[in-house]
Amino acid sequence: MDTGGASTVVVLTKAGCHLCEMVEAQLRSSMRDRTIQLVDIDKDDELFREYGLRIPVVTVDGKVVFEARMIDLEGRWRANLTRSVENIEEDP
């Protein structure tokens, strides 16, 4: 694909990834004049093995510039939930 000298922006994603959708929306909002290519890692075994729990991953000209590890996010929400409820008093 000829990008006319512009950087190639790729979002590695998969169906049902809500964080991927949010990252895509943010990129489209902030990079309106840029083509953003979506690549579904479920359709490529090699990409799935490499990025399965790291999506969304954003690359620019083939270099990873952003990634979110799904496991890390799950750990954070669990920790936040635990902190949120630890000070609630039990019913007498």
Asked if residue 14 lies in contact with residue 41, where contact means CB atoms within 8 angstroms, the answer is yes
- At 50 the pLDDT is 93
Q: Taking the model in full, what pTM does it have?
A: 0.69
3-state helix, strand, coil in the chain (%, to 5): 40, 20, 35
Q: Give the whole-angstrom CA distance, residue 15 versus residue 55.
A: 11
pLDDT at 87 over 80: no
Which stretches of the chain are DSSP H helices? 18-30, 45-51, 70-85
Please, which residues bridge with residue 40 across strands?
13
Q: Please give the domain boundaries of the chain with CATH numbers for all domains.
A: 9-85 (3.40.30.10)
pLDDT band at 89 (very low <50, low <70, confident <90, very high): very low
